[in-house]
Amino acid sequence: MTNKIIENLYYTKSDEWVKVEGDIAIIGITDYAQDQLGDIVYLEKIEKGRKVKSGDILTTIESVKAVSDVYAPISGEIIEVNEKLVENSSIINQDPYGEGWLAKIKIDKQNELSNLMKAKEYAEYRK
C-alpha cells in the first residue's frame, strides 16, 4: 500500500508533518505513521501554552499495536490543540493530514524548517 504524502508540507524522519501558515506550524503524524500504528485508541492530551523545542516529545499516541511518542518538529509555543482527538483519536487514522492534525505551534525559529524534509525527500526516505 502506498502511503499518501502531501506536497507543500514538511516532514521529519520520525514521521511528523508540518504545514506552515505564516508564523504558525500545524503538526500531525503522517499517513505512513498512522498506517504503521494501526487503530489509534488514545492520544495523550497536549498542553496548550507549553513551550517546546524541536525534538521534544509533543504527545504520546496509543494504538492496538504500540505506544509511540510524537515529537515537536519545530520550536515554539503550543497555541492550539485539536480537542476532537481527545474524544475520538481514530480521526487520525481516517484523515491524518486534515481533521487529524494534533497541534498548532507559534514558530520561534523559522530557520528550523530547513532541518525538515520536503515531500520528495520524505518519499525517498520512506521507500
- Express each pLDDT in 15-57 by its tens digit: 999 999 999 999 999 999 999 999 999 999 999 999 999 999 9
**Distance separating alpha carbons of residues 126 and 4, to the nearest angstrom:** 11
Q: Is 70 exceeded by the pLDDT of residue 4? A: yes
Establish if 65 belongs to a structural domain. Answer: yes
SS3 call for 87? helix
Establish if 29 belongs to a structural domain. Answer: yes
User: Please, what is the average pLDDT of the chain?
Assistant: 96
Report the number of distinct structural domains present in the chain: 1
Establish if 118 belongs to a structural domain. Answer: no
Amino acid at 97: Y
Establish if 34 belongs to a structural domain. Answer: yes
Give the domain range for residue 58. Answer: 10-106
Establish if 31 belongs to a structural domain. Answer: yes
Amino acid at 13: K
pLDDT for 2: 57
Establish if 119 belongs to a structural domain. Answer: no
List the CATH number of the domain containing 24. 2.40.50.100
- Express each pLDDT in 86-118 by its tens digit: 899 999 999 999 999 999 999 999 999 999 999
pLDDT for 3: 82
Establish if 102 belongs to a structural domain. Answer: yes
Establish if 4 belongs to a structural domain. Answer: no
Amino acid at 26: I
**Distance separating alpha carbons of residues 105 and 109, to the nearest angstrom:** 11
Cell numbers standing for residue 100 = 487529524
